[in-house]
Amino acid sequence: MKKIIVLSLVMLLISSMFVGCATPPEESNSEGSVEEETFSWPEKPLEIVVPFNAGGDTDFHARTYAKYLEPILGEKVLVVNISGANGSAGTIKVRDSEADGYTALFYHDSMLMNKVVGVTDFAHEELEVAAAGIMDNSYILAVNANSPFETLEDLINYAKENPGEVKYASSIGAYTYYVGRQMEVLTDVDFNIVDAGGGTDRNAALLAEKIDTNVNPYGVMKPYIDSGDFRVLAVFADKRSGLFPDVPTAKEQGFNIIAHRAYFLSFPKGTDERIITKVSEAMEQVSKIPEYAEDISTAYCVEPAYMNTADTKAYLDGAMEEFEAASDMILGE
């Protein structure tokens, strides 16, 4: 019996640690809402839902954001992981939450992909989009250092002469699958698109030369690029990255393929417009903090890229249109 009591005490202790984090600092509501008496948001901690487990890129970006948003909003910003259904479980949770401005979702373009693939029947249109904070423009194509391909052209030429031989790794319905299909269509080649798992699985497969190419954000492959195990042939961006300026774009090499994803914050439909504006402005401030930029560039090799509410919506609408038009490609049909 005693032991059980001890155990429950331990559990209580653990839970109180979290409650401890959750307790809002009391002195914070005085500033910010001087001119408007009625608008005093936020008055309690804001919860940001990450639709994946702790430890991934989305979780990292949400938590880093939370850390810098806190002093600006003057309230605690808590990150909650609600995983499942490739991000849809958390998305649905936020959509169905009360529109009081205290629950928000931190997600990226995969929200739209989930609709195209059929995991959900809605995307950003059923949410109140606030703003985007990070644009990941760092999708690169890498090969093993032992590979004969030195440029993107080498690879494409070889693929042209040997249809179905170059193993391009991606999962059907994933964004990189779409990038691969785009490449096939644009250059009129036929890859053998194989499923080799997620980011780290694919790193292993490329290390062991089980696949010929790997497309992923730079940060996912960085350790292997630094060690000289992988060679980067191209970045699928408009212009070269400031963080790895030696890598030429695909466009420079004559293949106009652009890949990117935006991490954005959204609220349940019907959330007060003033809240949306305030969050969006706070996000703009975060994107200008040098320490923030350093944090995200060391961990994932990306730069802050703020887009306001209207721009983010337009970006998402555009992306949705593009994905829907290309749904055959994405679904591998």
**Binding region for another protein (CB under 8 A):** 1-4, 7-8, 10-11, 14, 17-18, 53-56, 59-60, 63, 79-86, 88-89, 92-93, 117-120, 164, 167, 171-173, 192-197, 200-201, 203-205, 207-208, 210, 219, 222-224, 226-227, 229, 298-300, 332
CA distances from 114 to 19, 174, 216 (A): 34, 9, 18
Task: Tell me whether residue 220 or residue 319 sits nearer to another protein (CB atom).
Answer: 220
Dihedral angle of Cα 299, 318, 106, 330, to the nearest 10 degrees: -70
Taking alpha carbons only, the member of 151, 158, 181 closest to residue 168 is 181
Task: Tell me whether residue 216 or residue 280 sits nearer to another protein (CB atom).
Answer: 216
Closest separation in Å from C-beta 204 to another protein: 5
Task: Tell me whether residue 224 or residue 236 sits nearer to another protein (CB atom).
Answer: 224
Closest separation in Å from C-beta 134 to another protein: 15
**């652009």: which residue's tokens?**
258
Closest separation in Å from C-beta 300 to another protein: 8
Q: What's the CA gap between 265 and 287, in Å, rounded?
A: 13
Closest separation in Å from C-beta 99 to another protein: 20
Task: Tell me whether residue 225 or residue 250 sits nearer to another protein (CB atom).
Answer: 225
Angle, CA of 306, 309 and 312, to the nearest 5°: 65
Closest separation in Å from C-beta 70 to another protein: 12
**């600092």: which residue's tokens?**
25
Closest separation in Å from C-beta 73 to another protein: 18
Closest separation in Å from C-beta 6 to another protein: 8
Q: What's the CA gap between 64 and 16, in Å, rounded?
A: 23
Contact call for residues 198 and 221 (beta carbons, < 8 A)? no
Task: Tell me whether residue 4 or residue 34 sits nearer to another protein (CB atom).
Answer: 4
Task: Tell me whether residue 67 or residue 251 sits nearer to another protein (CB atom).
Answer: 67
DSSP alpha helices (H): ranges in the chain? Answer: 2-22, 57-73, 88-95, 110-117, 152-161, 175-187, 199-207, 218-226, 273-287, 290-300, 309-325, 327-330
Q: What's the CA gap between 126 and 270, in Å, rounded?
A: 10
Task: Tell me whether residue 54 or residue 314 sits nearer to another protein (CB atom).
Answer: 54
CA distances from 238 to 98, 241, 271 (A): 39, 9, 35
